[in-house]
Amino acid sequence: MQIAILLFDRFTVLDAIGPYQMLSGLPGARVTFVAERPGPIRDEVGSLILSAEAGLPDMPHPDIIMVPGGPGQDGQMRDGQMQDGPDVGLGGRGEDEVLRPPARGARVETTLNTG
């Protein structure tokens, strides 16, 4: 099972690492940190950097997509890779404006807190 945790600048660390710890223990699970493009992504404080192994185009159809919360999520609701393609309708606070192409083939899309 392919699980993508979507990182963005100013994400909340616990919202990404907590699910990573739990999901990575599932038998057959491969958990990957993804972002608009591979590379370092800073947390909301700016003091911790996680590395996104893959960009969104590298993982077009994960089984599960998990979006952490954080103050940086507002910036993800503007034009960019995450907005191209059909609306996947994740919920009532604007989450449907965030994930588009990778969620197209996902069996489960989930958010945590403000993600």
Computed over every residue of the chain, the mean pLDDT equals 78
Q: Which domain covers residue 11, as residue numbers? A: 2-111
Alpha carbons 87 and 29: distance in angstroms, whole number: 27
Confidence of residue 105 (pLDDT cuts 50, 70, 90): low
Q: State the DSSP string of 7-66.
A: --TTB-HHHHHHHHHHHTTSTT-EEEEEESSSEEEEBSSSS-EEEESEEGGG-SS-SEEE
Q: Indicate which CATH number applies to the domain containing 89.
A: 3.40.50.880
Interval 65-85 mean pLDDT: 69
Would you state the pLDDT for residue 87?
Answer: 35
Number of domains in the chain: 1
Confidence of residue 108 (pLDDT cuts 50, 70, 90): low
